[in-house]
């Protein structure tokens, strides 16, 4: 009997010791905050050249951390971009394209392993506050993809039965959108029925984010804040309305900067700022045909939903005290799909067996600018159209059709027309000398064209390219569908 009791005591001590060690390992892991803005252009942050408004909190974040000059969204449009961010995959690999609509019966496949699931499996608290846009049915909402908490809109804030200009209810808007729901967890708790309701969204998400930090500061957490702004219709609180020289869009950017500041203060107040990876980036470039209510591509060509640089190259700022060197600028290639594998590497998290496209860019975050973890960027758009590839400083634009912003824009919430434009032959651009893609030099560098075409051939084989009639490649997976 005495031997039996001794064995139990030894086993208990070993169990407690192992459990304590596990808890200590969890406590050492960094917190992660990702702020993801909608339709904000490359030139809409002070440190990237913004004019007409100020972004002091983001500028301080850049001065205390690192900003990237060649960072790309996964695709230049809402749903696809978000799918890429959270799964580490080019969106077309997992069946995503364009922007999902309220009545669509598809969404993020539960077989895909998300960033939130990776963190949750390590004992992190996880939360999403803002625009989801990866499927409206319950099975596709955040709580089914690794998030403990969710408050926000299930899709874009213009998908409602109201005028984006006046906020008035429309008898018929061409889309037959339902009321715009505000969801808490999995349940609809109310509706956004006016422009005044839109004005409250940035503050709401910010308050929820701060509260989450306050409640979870004693353990590791992952906080994802995908703001609804600055997507049309623009909404801004009284705190910032009329405050910028640029008008309503500038006001919105100032409030987003305020949101960054409030979240940063919460990290400082809870003494976790030094152990937090804090990231700011956007889903795609600006919706330029909205004129004075659109952002700036910062001199890059075109904007949202195009495969030119203004559509897919976006601002990216990271602060991680003691790890990311302060006040640095990284010019190497990186993409939103790289965040998942990088976070997994830093936290010793596991990835699923599913093939992903992201690469570990920890070396860049730590200031090793000689490293080149990412060699290429693929510019997929539409259902599965490969419109271009970039390798190093060279970009090959492939024949495709797109909607150009080279027309008179709208103003005050009214969208201007876009011009259907065809790229008839391949074009080559030197991104170091010509980031604005003004000078096609394809005739002067045949060896570069051949090198880039090898990337094109590999990409088409694995992921397809409808521009040349290849619907799918060997590596495409299915989007999630409601099981009936």
403 with 305: CB under 8 angstroms? yes
378 with 336: CB under 8 angstroms? no
Q: Which of 9, 33, 39 is nearest to 283 (CA)?
A: 39
354 with 476: CB under 8 angstroms? no
What is the C-alpha separation between 33 and 36, in angstroms, rounded? 10
What is the C-alpha separation between 307 and 398, in angstroms, rounded? 10
Q: Which one is catalytic: 128, 133, 145, 335?
A: 133
Q: Interhelix angle for 339-347 vs 78-87, to 10°? A: 20
Cα-based distances in Å from 129 to 134, 183, 407 = 14, 10, 36
Please identify which residue in the block is written with the tokens 């003691």: 322
Structure token pair of residue 110? 């539960």
Is 18 catalytic? The answer is no
325: three-class secondary structure by DSSP: coil
Structure token pair of residue 347? 């936290």
**Strand order from edge to edge, sheet including 125-129:** 187-192, 180-184, 149-152, 125-129, 221-226, 31-37, 276-282, 316-319, 66-68, 328-330
Q: Which one is catalytic: 78, 89, 330, 335?
A: 78
Helical (H) or strand (E) element with 36 = strand 31-37
Please identify which residue in the block is written with the tokens 């995959």: 89
Question: Whole-angstrom distance between the N-terminal and C-terminal Cα of the chain?
Answer: 59
In the chain, count H helices and then E strands. Answer: 11, 20
| Torsion sign (Cα): 414, 102, 356, 351 | positive
65 with 319: CB under 8 angstroms? yes
Structure token pair of residue 13? 């001590």
Is 133 catalytic? The answer is yes
Taking 3-state DSSP, the helix, strand and coil percentages for the chain, each rounded to the nearest 5, stand at: 35, 20, 50
Query: Could you tell me whether strands 180-184 and 149-152 are parallel, antiparallel, or unpaired per DSSP bridges?
Result: antiparallel
Catalytic residue positions, numbered: 78, 133
């Amino acid at each position: 009997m005495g031997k039996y009791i001794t064995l139990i005591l030894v086993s208990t001590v070993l169990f407690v010791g192992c459990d304590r060690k596990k808890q200590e390992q969890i406590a050492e892991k960094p917190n992660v905050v990702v702020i993801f803005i909608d339709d904000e252009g490359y030139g809409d942050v002070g440190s990237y050249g913004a004019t007409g408004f100020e972004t002091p909190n983001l500028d301080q974040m850049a001065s205390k951390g690192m900003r990237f000059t060649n960072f790309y969204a996964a695709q230049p449009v809402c749903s696809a971009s978000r799918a890429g961010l959270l799964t580490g995959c080019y969106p077309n690999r997992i069946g995503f394209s364009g922007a999902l609509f309220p009545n669509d019966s598809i969404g993020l496949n539960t077989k895909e392993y998300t960033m939130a699931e990776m963190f949750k499996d390590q004992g992190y608290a996880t939360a999403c506050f803002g625009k989801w846009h990866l499927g409206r049915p319950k099975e596709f909402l955040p709580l089914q993809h690794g998030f403990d908490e969710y408050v926000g809109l299930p899709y874009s804030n213009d998908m409602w039965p109201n005028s984006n200009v006046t906020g008035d209810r429309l008898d018929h808007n061409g889309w037959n959108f339902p009321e715009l729901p505000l969801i808490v967890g999995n349940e609809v708790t109310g509706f956004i029925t006016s422009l005044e309701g839109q004005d409250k969204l940035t503050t709401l998400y910010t308050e929820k984010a701060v509260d989450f930090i306050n409640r979870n500061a004693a353990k590791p957490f992952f906080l994802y804040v995908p703001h609804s702004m600055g997507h049309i219709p623009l909404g801004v609180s009284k705190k910032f309305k009329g405050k910028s020289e640029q008008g309503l869009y500038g006001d919105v950017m100032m409030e987003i900067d305020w949101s960054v500041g409030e979240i940063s203060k919460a990290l400082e107040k809870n003494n976790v700022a030094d152990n937090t990876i804090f990231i700011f980036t956007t889903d795609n470039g600006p919706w330029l045909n909205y004129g004075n209510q659109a952002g700036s591509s910062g001199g890059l060509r075109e904007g949202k939903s195009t495969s030119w640089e203004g559509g897919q190259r976006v601002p990216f700022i990271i602060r991680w005290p003691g790890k990311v060197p302060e006040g640095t600028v990284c010019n190497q290639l990186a993409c939103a799909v790289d965040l998942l594998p990088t976070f997994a590497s830093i936290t010793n998290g596991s990835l699923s067996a599913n093939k992903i496209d992201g690469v570990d860019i920890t070396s860049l975050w730590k200031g090793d600018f000689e490293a080149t973890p990412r060699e290429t960027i693929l510019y997929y758009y539409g259902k599965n159209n490969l419109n271009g590839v970039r390798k190093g400083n060279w970009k090959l634009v492939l024949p495709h059709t797109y909607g150009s912003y080279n027309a008179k824009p709208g103003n005050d919430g009214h969208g201007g027309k876009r011009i259907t434009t065809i790229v008839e032959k391949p074009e080559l651009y030197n991104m170091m000398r010509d980031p604005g893609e003004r000078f096609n030099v394809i005739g002067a560098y045949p060896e570069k064209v051949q090198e880039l075409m090898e990337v094109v051939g590999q990409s088409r084989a694995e992921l397809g390219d409808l521009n040349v009639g290849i619907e799918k490649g060997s590596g495409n997976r299915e989007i999630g569908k409601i099981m009936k």
